[in-house]
Chains A and B, each alone.
Chain A
Amino acid sequence: MAAGSLLCRMSLIRKVCNFSGSCFLFCRMSLIRKVCNFSGSCGLLFLFALAFVLPAAAQSPHQENIQIGLSTDRVMITAGFTGADLTIFGALEDGDPQIARQGRYDVIVVLEGPARPVVVRRKDRILGVWINLESETFENVPVSYSVATTRPFQDITEPASYKQLSLGANNIYMQPMEEGESPATIAEFTAALRERKSATGQYSENVGGVQFLSQNLFRATVRLAPSVPVGTHKARAFLFKNGVFVKENSAQLEIRKSGFEQSIFRAAHNYSFLYGFFAICLAMITGWLGRIVFRKD
């Protein structure tokens, strides 16, 4: 058991960034939390070594557990961020080597954004003009939802099981704010919400995005949309054995924007009066300077 907890503390995460143009995901490269005085690569070797030693030590029936660890609890994205892949490493503890060899362990990793109330509006034609007419408000809709799985959803477990865990973009429960709407209307607007979220990349699925690197170590790649919302995100990992849900674990990740532009955004929201006053002064000075520089009379 001591070995197990050691293993768990050694779980790791690495972020792989897609740089494009000025896009930049502030990332600290890789990182094993050093428990012992091992260097990074030694630690990794030690981890693999443990993976083989462990089953022999544990004679009792396997009590699988899943761990994910984040190297940092904060990710900073700068202006012009055009999306990135976030790689999360994790470990399967006390796994049955035989089941692992047959590939009957499955892992689903979800990165879920903060929940907010969302209004879905539908345009309808009135006198030839398209007008927002019907609307439906849902409480606590995750602003983003990225999933990575080892295999296609239908191969991992039963639909009922997903529903129970509310796992997957199609199974998130969306609570309408007002009661008494017809189920058909709610279904229509829920579908539209999911469709819009998928279209903007805020809800994404990466089938095959979780890969076992060894019997115990896995790597999950989830997509961050260009419009990934700032706030506290929750990384959750679900372990399935022979199509049955076994264990879940989660970690928190703060996504924040950084840089000059973000300071402006914060100023506009936190010091809005001063910000407005500054905007006016800037315009007046620009107008005055423009007059001096380009004066023709």
Chain B
Amino acid sequence: MSIYLPIAEISVNILVLLAMGAAVGFLSGMFGVGGGFLITPLLIFYNIPPAIAVATGANQVIASSVSGVLSHMKRGTLDFKLGGVLLAGGVVGSTVGIYVFGLLREIGQLDLFISLLYVVLLGTVGGLMMVESVNALRATRSGAAPVLKKSGQHNWIHRLPLKMRFRASKLFVSVIPVLGLGAAIGFLSSIMGVGGGFIMVPALIYLLKVPTNVVIGTSLFQIIFTSAYTTLVHATTNQTVDVILAFVLMVGGVAGAQYGARAGQKLRGEQLRALLALLVLAVALRLAFDLFVTPPNRYSLAVLGLS
């Protein structure tokens, strides 16, 4: 069953897209991540032009983040003030990102830059998670109690000026790192088509010492708006958002997430993280492979000013 994607201008199999959405939704439900970092590379492997995969990925992330945020709002595990400050930074980062995106596209280096960013970021995050989860697995096997990081421990970030109080997170911290983090996530969101949860969550926990229970809700909250902004700007400046593609992925994703969440409850935390790390590393390796292997054709054409 094929479906024509009006913006990507190619025919693809709708069942493959639904399965892709469902698989990523399953994993995002299982691991509690948005799934943008998986959707965009998968679309690229499926021959969707990277520029469209990125913009459409950002659109798809909104749907999964909205359903996540709704349940966190009900549980009260969402810091609106912290989310708002992250968002302010996110809008700036996203604007810069869109500009860089257009520039790279013009000089023909966009595909390379997207792949490189994915390889570096996924490789780093996947590697760190792998080391951490293997250590945790070893520790539990040997029967030693897991070492908990002491909260209240201060680092250089807490010595910065312009402090602000975030009540829901029980936090009194400078706005500079919060804005900076938001801007970095916004930049990545517009260039990579990701929500940025896989970077935001560890950064909030380890750098800002935000309590873990409010981290995911707050991160999802700001991701909705950063992705929405990214989608809107991609749609107006690059015309690369494919609504049909995004919708099919969302439907698969929303359904898959529920089964993933149930499956996730049966696995232990360290095992989950080790599996996620494997997955992230596999995606990074696959993208790296394409960068290094000799392309079948060294020449490529781009028509200018078709729109």
**A interface residues with partner B (beta carbon < 8 Å):** 21-22, 79-80, 82, 116-124, 128-132, 135, 137, 143, 189, 192-193, 195-197, 199, 227, 229, 261-262, 264-265, 268-269, 272-273, 275-280, 282-284, 286-291, 293-294, 296-297
Residues of A contacting B116 with CB < 8 Å? 129
**Does any Cβ of A come within 8 Å of B108's Cβ?**
yes
Tell me if B4 and A286 are in contact (CB < 8 A).
no
Instruction: From the candidates B232, B233, B299, name the one contacting A121 in the complex (CB within 8 A).
Output: B299
Tell me if B62 and A284 are in contact (CB < 8 A).
yes
Tell me if B262 and A116 are in contact (CB < 8 A).
no
Prevailing SS type, chain A contact patch: helix
Residues of A contacting B232 with CB < 8 Å? 273, 276-277, 280
Residues of A contacting B246 with CB < 8 Å? 279, 282-283
Residues of B contacting A283 with CB < 8 Å? 59-60, 62-63, 66, 228, 231, 246, 250
**Does any Cβ of A come within 8 Å of B304's Cβ?**
yes
Residues of B contacting A276 with CB < 8 Å? 231-236, 241
A262 and B301 CA atoms in complex are apart in Å by 24
Given the contacts A129-B291, A261-B6, A273-B235, A118 and B302 also touching, CB distance less than 8 Å:
yes
Prevailing SS type, chain B contact patch: helix
Residue in chain B with minimal CB distance to A268: B239
Interface size on B, residues (CB 8 A): 59
**Does any Cβ of A come within 8 Å of B144's Cβ?**
no
Tell me if A290 and B67 are in contact (CB < 8 A).
yes
Tell me if A269 and B304 are in contact (CB < 8 A).
no
22 pairs, A vs B, C-beta closer than 8 Å = A80-B11, A118-B304, A120-B301, A129-B116, A129-B292, A130-B298, A135-B108, A229-B306, A265-B7, A277-B232, A279-B241, A279-B243, A280-B62, A282-B247, A283-B231, A283-B250, A284-B63, A286-B247, A287-B64, A291-B67, A294-B254, A297-B71
Shortest 4 CB-CB contacts between residues of A and residues of B: A276-B235, A287-B66, A290-B254, A79-B4
